[in-house]
């Protein structure tokens, strides 16, 4: 085993996939955002209520390299 493999750390991903959830109906979908950005919150179409609704970031799913 080479010493350089031990000393070098694995690089972190620049983007992550998160779950967005509607605060009205609970409808969810996935979005990719930069790792260093703030948590997402935006208005989008909710098919359950057939209107615009506020979506908030619920949790992180995985890293995207």
Task: For residue 42, give the 3-state DSSP assignment.
Answer: strand
pTM of the model: 0.79
CATH class of 11-64: mainly beta
| Integer Cα distance of 13 and 64 in angstroms | 6
- Domain residue limits, the chain: 11-64
Phi-psi region of 26 (alpha: psi -120 to 50; beta: other; left: phi over 0): left
Contacts 24+ apart (CB under 8 A), 37-44: 44/20
Q: What is the pLDDT of residues 7-54, one digit of tens each?
A: 777 788 999 999 999 999 999 999 999 999 999 999 999 999 999 999
């Amino acid at each position: 085993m080479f010493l350089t493999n031990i000393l070098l750390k694995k690089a972190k991903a620049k983007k992550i996939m998160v779950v967005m959830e509607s605060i009205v109906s609970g409808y969810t979908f996935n979005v990719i955002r930069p790792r260093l950005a703030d948590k997402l919150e935006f208005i989008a179409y909710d098919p359950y209520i057939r209107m615009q609704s506020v979506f908030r970031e619920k949790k992180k799913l995985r890293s995207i390299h």
